[in-house]
Structure 1
């Protein structure tokens, strides 16, 4: 009995030590699409980018070890919410980032508010995250649908594309992207002739494309993401839908999409972007290091995971605390100084406003090296690229 009692006490002591170590380790969670349709632009690369930021920071914060953990939300809000609760409650995760799916992001940022932790969307793009669904514990560090719409609509309408038809994803991201683009088209004097919505992971876009073509539109807007957007663009080219009279507007075209679709099919497409691996010396230096680990340049989301992680670590160090309120106060205390963020400001609604690139997809003959896909044609100031305070529904911006 004495031996059993000693063994039991030892086991309890070991459990207590493990629990203490778990509590002391500061964790950053990357909740992403590991193997699904968003994984190319997010996935394992997002986890690695956050780990690179922790390594560059030195691996410790306020004397404690910092660890990055990752998990797959499978693009399902209930799964993402369950993981977030567990991470916040039992793993000492102070910040969850990436999120990818807008539905997942909405669920997680609501939990972050309840737990007084932080949710940082670097991959989820619905502008409603910082509008209708805004809360004090949520940040949108990456792109958003308002920015996509504002950056692309102007050049397209000004070049004669004034009759639009939407092929949109039937979930939060697609709805927001279509709505934001509609408003911009109509504000510039264009008309929306119709729309159709498709499910996620749709393989056959032929009927949607024919409906769009028969509408008489001279712009077919693809308000979808990653694989769906790629399939719609490829099939539109194959079926002869896109021509001199009917242009495609890929509203959320990312670097990975151009790589998948190819330059021949996507050349001359206008792109609104928060990051491009070959944009400047800072982007090239990071991308070279990242490519040695992952075999390719980082996507927009992956770069923002690196940027957002470093910004949080620096803010926590300056605030001498990992408590959410203190870190957020530090982040909002002045201009955001983080990798790849130009003229950045974190607003009360959680929107990181910054200058963005306006780019064009190169013709095949203009590409001189691997992943040399985009040409920078200009910049759009943050105040012009993102939803202004005057148009926001977010109560955090009122009063």
Structure 2
């Protein structure tokens, strides 16, 4: 009787465990599954919100969906944070993400000062950094890292495409209004080099703090220099505010040209075609460029809350898509364990996506693809919402970027 009771109790206990065990993964499934975490670090509330922010996160999610990585046994989680355009804030978030939250990849990072800080941390922690919106060439220069891919644009490419083209038209004297941080300084320096190499002159420069609202004194100094071109070495709402105030002051009516060294389609949308018409800018992606760019835009635009993707957002999509292709090739566990090895495999594999087409990644981490010079349409030329650009010139991938021999990247073989 005692034995029967004991047997009954043991069998009851075993039955009670069945539902609980049924909800747990088997040992085989636990060993085979891999979880990756991607952190989208950008400006969610400030000067670069529209060219990064929630739209970048949506494009990362679209890349995960398009990759089909879940069917290959890899689960991917996305987190996002606002670095407030402060290097110390961005660095703190990055360290917490990696050390506490298990983030494997950091994506986007507008603001070159923040980008350089993240570049160092990711290398130290041997994770992966996919830069899309930070423009400094230092990421593929002296501070290049085996853990970083610089995807979308940089200051050399912008300076060559926009600055070089304008000097050829006779716009050979320049005055710069420059954002006073790493990106602005880098862009001014690179553009000045192209202007001077083409026989032009730089008559002066003035620097402004990030998120300025009053550009009147800077524009006055630029006009007093009698330069033919005012070069705006800034971005985001700084560029928008400067262009608007230049229009109010009638700067272009006096014959002065405004060269917007970095402008995104979202900036044109904010300005409106009446204010932006005739401006010339460089992007490496335009939603209406070809069938593939239109296909990507149609897939993602429903999640953008009325916004459209710029090259910065496209870079987030394409870099994450290529990373996940690499994860599938390497195996999720191997990719998670060694960020530098993962980036090395990314460089070895050709790239191909709907935003940029076919391309490659150089040994210094520079992603290579064609670059496009656009002119903003007049209001009467536009056929509808977001139909803003006319293609002026295409620079092939092999000509658009700083030669690898000039970057002084320690990763590059002599």
Q: Shared fold (TM-score greater than 0.5)?
A: yes
Deviation at 1:383, TM superposition (A): 2.3
Larger radius of gyration: 2
Aligned mate of 2:37, from 14, 27, 46: 27
Q: Deviations over 1:190-220 (max 9, x none)?
A: 0000000000111110110010001010000
Deviation at 1:61, TM superposition (A): 7.3
Which residue in 2 is equivalent to 1:314? Answer: 325
Which residue in 2 is equivalent to 1:133? Answer: 143
Which residue in 2 is equivalent to 1:264? Answer: 274
Matched, 1:199 2:209: yes
Which residue in 1 is equivalent to 2:73? Answer: 63
Aligned mate of 2:109, from 64, 82, 99: 99
Q: Distance in 1 between matches of 2:216 and 2:296?
A: 40
Would the aligned equivalents of 1:166 and 1:223 in 2 still touch at CA under 8 Å?
yes
For structure 1, which segment, 190-199 or 142-151, has the greater mean C-alpha deviation from structure 2 after superposition? 142-151
Q: Distance in 2 between matches of 1:234 and 1:215?
A: 20
Deviation at 1:127, TM superposition (A): 1.7
Aligned mate of 1:332, from 347, 352, 377: 347
Aligned mate of 1:367, from 382, 385, 398: 382
Which residue in 2 is equivalent to 1:75? Answer: 85
Which residue in 2 is equivalent to 1:233? Answer: 243
Q: Distance in 2 between matches of 1:98 and 1:154?
A: 27
Deviation at 1:244, TM superposition (A): 5.3
Q: Deviations over 1:279-332 (max 9, x none)?
A: 111111111222211123212211111111110000111122313233222222
Q: SS in structure 1 opposite 2:386? A: coil
Which residue in 2 is equivalent to 1:149? Answer: 159
Deviation at 1:45, TM superposition (A): 0.9
Would the aligned equivalents of 1:167 and 1:196 in 2 still touch at CA under 8 Å?
yes
Would the aligned equivalents of 2:148 and 2:343 in 1 still touch at CA under 8 Å?
no
Q: Deviations over 1:131-170 (max 9, x none)?
A: 1321111111111111111101122111110000000000
Q: CA RMSD in A?
A: 1.9
The verdict on how the C-alpha distance between 1:61 and 1:395 changes in structure 2, with shifts beyond 3 A counting, is farther
Would the aligned equivalents of 1:342 and 1:355 in 2 still touch at CA under 8 Å?
no
Aligned length: 381
Give 1:210-221 correspondences, 5 Å limit.
210-221=220-231
Q: Distance in 1 between matches of 2:329 and 2:197?
A: 43
Matched, 1:120 2:135: no
Would the aligned equivalents of 1:288 and 1:297 in 2 still touch at CA under 8 Å?
no
Which residue in 1 is equivalent to 2:313? Answer: 302
Structure 1, unmatched stretches of 5+, are 1-16
Q: Distance in 1 between matches of 2:321 and 2:175?
A: 41
Deviation at 1:59, TM superposition (A): 5.0
Aligned mate of 1:284, from 285, 291, 294: 294
Which residue in 2 is equivalent to 1:8? Answer: none
Would the aligned equivalents of 1:81 and 1:111 in 2 still touch at CA under 8 Å?
yes
Matched, 1:389 2:389: no
The verdict on how the C-alpha distance between 1:388 and 1:40 changes in structure 2, with shifts beyond 3 A counting, is same
Q: Distance in 2 between matches of 1:344 and 1:180?
A: 24
Q: SS in structure 1 opposite 2:76? A: strand
Structure 2, unmatched stretches of 5+, are 1-23, 25-29
Matched, 1:377 2:388: no
Q: SS in structure 2 opposite 1:252? A: coil
**Higher relative contact order (CA closer than 8 Å, sequence separation 6+):** 2
Would the aligned equivalents of 2:146 and 2:344 in 1 still touch at CA under 8 Å?
no
For structure 1, which segment, 34-43 or 294-303, has the greater mean C-alpha deviation from structure 2 after superposition? 294-303
Q: Distance in 2 between matches of 1:42 and 1:154?
A: 27
Deviation at 1:341, TM superposition (A): 2.3
Matched, 1:173 2:204: no
For structure 1, which segment, 41-50 or 333-342, has the greater mean C-alpha deviation from structure 2 after superposition? 333-342
Q: Distance in 2 between matches of 1:358 and 1:342?
A: 17
Which residue in 2 is equivalent to 1:3? Answer: none
Q: Deviations over 1:243-269 (max 9, x none)?
A: 352100000011011111221222222
Q: Distance in 1 between matches of 2:240 and 2:286?
A: 19
Deviation at 1:184, TM superposition (A): 0.5
Q: Distance in 1 between matches of 2:299 and 2:308?
A: 9
Deviation at 1:339, TM superposition (A): 3.1
